[in-house]
Structure 1
Amino acid sequence: MKKLHFLLILLCLPLTVLAQDSRLIKGKITDGAEPMADVAVYVEGSGERIFTSSEGRYEIEAETGDVLVFSYTGMKEMKIRVEDVTRFLNFAMVPDYEELDEITVSGKLKSQLEMEQQYATNPRIIATAFGYIDADKAPGRVRIIEGERINPIGICILDYMRNRFSGVRVIGNCNDPQGGAVIIRTVGSLGNQAPAIFDVDGQIFDEVPWWIDLNMIERLAILSSYSLTTRYGQLAAGGVIVINTYNMTLPSVADRGGKRAKPAALSPTDIAANAPSYMEALQSETTEQGAKMAFEDYATRYSSSPYFFLDAYKHFYTVRRDRDYADEIIENNFGRFRSNPVALKALAYLYQEQGRDEMAREVYKEVFILRPAYSQSYYDMARAYRHAGEYSKAAAMFGRYQFLLQEGFLIGSTDFWLIQQHDSDNLFAKEGESLGTDMRLVSRDDYVQDATRMLFEWNDSEAEFDLQFVNPENGTYVWSHTLADNPGRIDDEKIAGYNVEEYVIDPKTPGTWQVNVKYHGNKSLTPTYLKVTTFFNYGTPQETRQVRTFKLFVEGSNQQLMTITNPGESSTSN
């Protein structure tokens, strides 16, 4: 790894500007199933437009910092900010539904237990296979009809729903219910509008439950927003109709006896079964020499992929325990990483997971040189210095970030600022005496103090995924990091230059938590690396830190990351 006068680079940073590097960006656009032709693609602010071919493909010139706009009638407009590493952008567009009478969400969101307790008296709460939803707090439109307003007059659900809701189309009737369907989304997969599925008292049906006695319906709700139906997976491409009957057994949050099962997730064994062929070859070799020969053979075929060398490095370091050979793999092929900040961050993640903090620090320096205008470059360097025992340099880097932010050389973000401030405060609280800090001036945030704090970081800013947290009562919370559901957050990350999210588990909620991820891809054919740093007893003398790194490459399925025993015990992987 080349040696650089890093201090000189730090001093020159205020004069640094990003070079405008015009380049050709390519990709393919689909609707999730089929290629989309005639999608308008253009640089925001430019009058020139191109359109995708019959195969959904496009090519367009753009510069770092440009915003590419993808537009098609009936589909949600997508805006993607071009970064230094952007070369390919492949993704699926999603329908854009006209939302009428939207509800403004305000105030504190209710917990699952609160909604369970209020279900009997609040007609705006519905029970689904994945927990309760309060229509007044939901991240999307929920249309509800109470049972007392349903006048069945001897008909089935098909004829009742016909003409009852605007924008809803019913196929079939009560005289011939077989093959009937309800269409609640005006735009589905091109040329193929998907019918809605039914969630009846927590049981999911992909055919119309025409046999339901309408007199027994307590609440009927229509969910068409992707943010509300994502948990049902591709099955809910046409939306969901939720029916709660008077005979429903409420899915008690407090019941640990099995009325609500934990969401299914792929285990590490399942993930390994989907690994590249070269990993199978490396793992099947019974001798170390055989594994080295297999590596050399595959290295000629994968010579352009830094991710192949990352996989090989981890295999020899962790499985074969030949650390010298593992280090040789990186040293001999570091040129494949040097100009790629995304691959470099993945390497740094692995070093940190292995406790090789000094090596991680050197890699983060390389990223810093490539991305001096990214807020996270300062954050990563500050923490890398700290974990390598260089507390003064860590403090100086936090201070440097604040100075450049105040002077306007960096673009700020409220979300990111709070996360880095927690780490800065923690550094001075723990190492303040050695830094000559007046301990009376050190601030503490009660939100994170004494808690289990989790930091999620991903190396590729184009990565789309859902983080799922399952509490000890099997209630779930999902944070969606997708263009369809969270475009504002993703654009904020690219403008300020950060890829990190913080979650805190309150010490008053003891027990075992499960953390899953559903990966949706990163608009290219490369994997995404997700680093999870867990702090137990944060901010106390008993504070401990654990780093785990996960390679995300299986799209569309829940992947189990880890379980967390809160509080006081180290997290473990199942």
Structure 2
Amino acid sequence: MKRLAHLILFVLLILVYTPDAHAQPPDARFFTQVSGVVLDQDNRPVPNAAIIRLNSFKETETSLDGTFTIEARAGDVLRFAALFKKTTDQVVSTAADLNIVLDTDADLLDEVVLRKRKDEELRNTAFGKKRRSRLGYDAQLATRYISPADIDLTTVLQKIPEVATVGNGVNFSFGLRKNRSINSAPLLVVVDGVPVTQSYVNVINPVDIESITLLKSLAATVRYGSQGAGGVILIETKMAANLHNDRNSYTGQLEEQDRDFIDNVQLAESYFSKTTPYYLRTLNQARSFQEAKEIYETLYKEPRNNTLYFMMDCSDYFRNWDAKYSYDILSEVYFQATSNPKILKSLAYQLETNGLPKHAKYVYEKLIELKPDHAQSYRDLALIYAQTGELKLAKSLYVQMINNSIPAVDFTELRSTLVTEFRHFLLKNKRNLKLKGIPNDYLAANTLPKTRLVLEWTDPLSEFEIQFVGPEKNHFAWNHTVFDNSDFIENEIKDGFAMREFEIDKAPNGEWLVNIKNRKGDNSSGRSYVRYTFYKNYGFPSEEKKSVLVPLDKIDEKIILDSFFN
């Protein structure tokens, strides 16, 4: 904590900005602390509800008892948003406390519950996913035997009561426990629909498994003939499950959507160049740095421009004129949003984009101070420590996260990502680290995906869709929406993360496109960012990396984020 305090003090010293260029907004002296409580229709507290003061950098969230405090003044508008609730705006009056009731979005909740019920009824079978009620035989879901401590699939199979195992490592074999002679009737292993040898289970990482289903009866195994006589164990990886779910989320209009994609979708650069905001058009008229500064100072005083997008856009604009002045504007963002984790995360992403990892590090450390129970805060800090050469700190954080040993923080949802990134970190820095106690499988390059995509976003209530368009123009989608992915969003709010990784090594070879579409949910903050990072030859000396920071709430149609060859 002492080190952290020194670092926070240092950031206050290093983020120096130009006073005359960033005058305080008018009437700042009239701000006061506005308190209140957010309740649902049954008078129960609503935790983790977001409270945003519109046209400002101020934001907070409710505690477990629904209470909140935010700086505001009479006439300001506060926006209240929460998962499964209807967003509402409230004008601040002279009243000391606010009592806000958020109505349940009944239509959305009914749709989500219905979708969950449908999903829960599905079971993997030899002929694909089928409703459990229509199977007529037992398809036992064995995924519950997977735990974060499992280092290989052999360990998992040994925990399934119906499975008898013999040996270990390369000599490991298994069959149904009722078949005492497992050599005569072994279990058939099917991974993502493809029959494989039993030894194949040694190369499957348990964290990559979506589901394990055990098929025991003749009716369940008839598709595989004599191969399935001893039973079938169906293993579905997370990648295959994502692609399966995404295919089934589309209607019969899929082919028509593909043709629309070819004709109409714009590149991100082209789209944003055609939707330039008025303040950038005004700045583009400047003929000198001094003239641009004067224009900016005038624009800054307009209340409508007291937004994150305005500040970030203007900082980017001034990079062509003067790097220090550009940085001064980002410094102002820090000072205005020093208690707002979502905006600070956007700022950290921008500082990294600008090639300032040491400055970004101080913002990430501030984020841990603000949100010590958020899992991703520690992961982001480990990554930036690796960039700034603080390898011991990065290694220590990774070990604690993977072991889930940081008090009051749950890293379960991020474990697969953490293991991948820790392996990458060790391979890149093994000559400069003490590796005693690190398992050998963490040091093998062949355990890393060759092609890796990472999505991160600043607001868990943002709603968007990511599409992956393959060489044959077939496409798959992942939706970050309450309707399509409510469980995921609930978990990210609870555990404090906002990211997803995709590994596409086994995808068809050829050119792939990555699209993004803003689904514009009612809870949109109007200042969200999505960061897309692409890695090729991940973990190898020839590794390539590119990153794009996208202002999500500026997007009104589907656009192309990236293209790459797999």
Same fold by TM-score, threshold 0.5 exceeded?
yes
**What is the identity, as a one-letter code, of the residue corresponding to 2:505?**
D
Q: CA contact under 8 A between 2:38 and 2:62: conserved in structure 1? A: no
What corresponds to 1:463 in structure 2?
462
Query: Quick one: higher RCO (CA 8 Å, sep 6+), 1 or 2?
Result: 2
**What is the identity, as a one-letter code, of the residue corresponding to 1:276?**
P
The SS at the match of 1:453 is strand
Deviates more, 1:335-344 or 1:483-492: 335-344
**What is the identity, as a one-letter code, of the residue corresponding to 1:456?**
L
- CA 1:449–1:312: 2 relative to 1, 3 Å: same
**What is the identity, as a one-letter code, of the residue corresponding to 1:346?**
S
What corresponds to 1:546 in structure 2?
546
Of 311, 318, 321, 2:313 maps to: 311
What corresponds to 2:499 in structure 1?
500
Given the alignment of the two structures, is residue 477 of structure 1 paired with residue 476 of structure 2, yes or no?
A: yes
- CA 1:90–1:289: 2 relative to 1, 3 Å: farther
**What is the identity, as a one-letter code, of the residue corresponding to 1:337?**
A
Deviates more, 1:546-555 or 1:303-312: 303-312
Deviates more, 1:260-269 or 1:519-528: 260-269
Deviation at 1:285, TM superposition (A): 3.1
- CA 1:79–1:107: 2 relative to 1, 3 Å: farther
Structure 1 segment 322-341 matched on structure 2, within 5 A? 322-332=322-332, 334-341=334-341
Normalising by structure 1, we get a TM-score of: 0.57
Deviation at 1:467, TM superposition (A): 0.8
- For residues 286 and 434 of structure 2, what CA distance do their matches in structure 1 show? 55
What corresponds to 2:357 in structure 1?
357
Q: CA contact under 8 A between 2:532 and 2:547: conserved in structure 1? A: yes
Given the alignment of the two structures, is residue 452 of structure 1 paired with residue 451 of structure 2, yes or no?
A: yes
Deviation at 1:528, TM superposition (A): 1.2
- CA 1:440–1:460: 2 relative to 1, 3 Å: closer
Deviation at 1:561, TM superposition (A): 1.1
Structure 1 segment 562-573 matched on structure 2, within 5 A? 562-566=562-566
What corresponds to 1:161 in structure 2?
none
Q: Deviations over 1:59-117 (max 9, x none)?
A: xx98324689xxxxxxxx92699xxxxx99999775535969947334499xxxxxxxx
Deviation at 1:461, TM superposition (A): 1.7
Deviates more, 1:259-268 or 1:417-426: 259-268
The SS at the match of 2:483 is coil
- For residues 309 and 287 of structure 1, what CA distance do their matches in structure 2 show? 20
- For residues 323 and 422 of structure 1, what CA distance do their matches in structure 2 show? 35
- For residues 493 and 447 of structure 1, what CA distance do their matches in structure 2 show? 30
Q: CA contact under 8 A between 1:413 and 1:492: conserved in structure 2? A: no
- For residues 388 and 374 of structure 2, what CA distance do their matches in structure 1 show? 22
- For residues 65 and 264 of structure 2, what CA distance do their matches in structure 1 show? 40
- For residues 368 and 463 of structure 1, what CA distance do their matches in structure 2 show? 22
The SS at the match of 1:389 is coil
The SS at the match of 1:484 is helix
- For residues 424 and 281 of structure 2, what CA distance do their matches in structure 1 show? 43
- For residues 310 and 62 of structure 1, what CA distance do their matches in structure 2 show? 24
Q: CA contact under 8 A between 1:94 and 1:484: conserved in structure 2? A: no
- For residues 345 and 9 of structure 1, what CA distance do their matches in structure 2 show? 17
- For residues 537 and 506 of structure 1, what CA distance do their matches in structure 2 show? 10
- For residues 299 and 431 of structure 2, what CA distance do their matches in structure 1 show? 52
- For residues 261 and 504 of structure 2, what CA distance do their matches in structure 1 show? 21
What corresponds to 1:78 in structure 2?
84
Deviation at 1:409, TM superposition (A): 1.9
- For residues 281 and 38 of structure 2, what CA distance do their matches in structure 1 show? 33
- CA 1:511–1:445: 2 relative to 1, 3 Å: farther
Of 111, 118, 122, 1:105 maps to: 122
Q: Deviations over 1:112-134 (max 9, x none)?
A: xxxxxxxxxx9xxxxxxxxxxx9
Deviation at 1:294, TM superposition (A): 1.7
Q: Deviations over 1:245-300 (max 9, x none)?
A: xxxxx9699xxxx9785374343333343343212222343433332222111111
- For residues 246 and 542 of structure 2, what CA distance do their matches in structure 1 show? 39
- For residues 368 and 323 of structure 2, what CA distance do their matches in structure 1 show? 26
Given the alignment of the two structures, is residue 557 of structure 1 paired with residue 557 of structure 2, yes or no?
A: yes
- For residues 493 and 371 of structure 2, what CA distance do their matches in structure 1 show? 12
- For residues 437 and 341 of structure 1, what CA distance do their matches in structure 2 show? 34
Q: CA contact under 8 A between 1:468 and 1:515: conserved in structure 2? A: yes
What corresponds to 2:229 in structure 1?
none
What corresponds to 1:431 in structure 2?
429
Of 390, 403, 417, 1:419 maps to: 417
Deviation at 1:509, TM superposition (A): 3.2
Q: Deviations over 1:16-64 (max 9, x none)?
A: xxxxx964569xxxxxxxxxxxx94754699xxxxxxxxxxxxxx9832
Given the alignment of the two structures, is residue 289 of structure 1 paired with residue 290 of structure 2, yes or no?
A: yes
- CA 1:65–1:521: 2 relative to 1, 3 Å: farther
- For residues 455 and 479 of structure 2, what CA distance do their matches in structure 1 show? 13
Deviation at 1:397, TM superposition (A): 1.9
- CA 1:491–1:42: 2 relative to 1, 3 Å: farther
Note the residue ranges of structure 2 that are not aligned, 5 or more in a row. 9-33, 48-59, 68-82, 88-99, 132-244
Deviation at 1:511, TM superposition (A): 2.0
Normalising by structure 2, we get a TM-score of: 0.58
Deviation at 1:311, TM superposition (A): 1.6
**What is the identity, as a one-letter code, of the residue corresponding to 1:503?**
F
- For residues 495 and 562 of structure 2, what CA distance do their matches in structure 1 show? 29
The SS at the match of 1:406 is coil
Given the alignment of the two structures, is residue 5 of structure 1 paired with residue 3 of structure 2, yes or no?
A: yes
- For residues 330 and 9 of structure 1, what CA distance do their matches in structure 2 show? 18
- For residues 271 and 88 of structure 1, what CA distance do their matches in structure 2 show? 38
What corresponds to 1:119 in structure 2?
none
Q: Deviations over 1:385-406 (max 9, x none)?
A: 1011221111122234346x33
The SS at the match of 1:473 is coil
- For residues 273 and 520 of structure 1, what CA distance do their matches in structure 2 show? 20
- For residues 345 and 488 of structure 1, what CA distance do their matches in structure 2 show? 23
- For residues 399 and 536 of structure 1, what CA distance do their matches in structure 2 show? 25
- CA 1:331–1:251: 2 relative to 1, 3 Å: closer
- For residues 445 and 252 of structure 1, what CA distance do their matches in structure 2 show? 44
**What is the identity, as a one-letter code, of the residue corresponding to 2:467?**
Q
- For residues 462 and 560 of structure 1, what CA distance do their matches in structure 2 show? 22
Higher helix residue share: 2
- For residues 125 and 385 of structure 2, what CA distance do their matches in structure 1 show? 38
Q: CA contact under 8 A between 1:452 and 1:505: conserved in structure 2? A: yes
- CA 1:260–1:485: 2 relative to 1, 3 Å: closer
Q: CA contact under 8 A between 1:23 and 1:62: conserved in structure 2? A: no
- For residues 249 and 344 of structure 2, what CA distance do their matches in structure 1 show? 32
What corresponds to 2:516 in structure 1?
517
The SS at the match of 2:393 is helix
- For residues 367 and 552 of structure 2, what CA distance do their matches in structure 1 show? 21
- For residues 339 and 466 of structure 1, what CA distance do their matches in structure 2 show? 29
- For residues 90 and 325 of structure 1, what CA distance do their matches in structure 2 show? 45
**What is the identity, as a one-letter code, of the residue corresponding to 1:308?**
F
- For residues 355 and 125 of structure 2, what CA distance do their matches in structure 1 show? 39
What corresponds to 1:383 in structure 2?
383
Deviation at 1:560, TM superposition (A): 1.7
- For residues 45 and 285 of structure 1, what CA distance do their matches in structure 2 show? 49
Q: CA contact under 8 A between 2:417 and 2:501: conserved in structure 1? A: yes
Q: CA contact under 8 A between 2:426 and 2:443: conserved in structure 1? A: no
- For residues 252 and 554 of structure 1, what CA distance do their matches in structure 2 show? 26
Q: CA contact under 8 A between 1:426 and 1:539: conserved in structure 2? A: yes
Deviation at 1:335, TM superposition (A): 1.3
Q: CA contact under 8 A between 1:536 and 1:544: conserved in structure 2? A: yes
Deviation at 1:451, TM superposition (A): 1.4
Q: CA contact under 8 A between 2:351 and 2:360: conserved in structure 1? A: yes
Q: CA contact under 8 A between 1:307 and 1:343: conserved in structure 2? A: no
Q: CA contact under 8 A between 1:305 and 1:336: conserved in structure 2? A: no
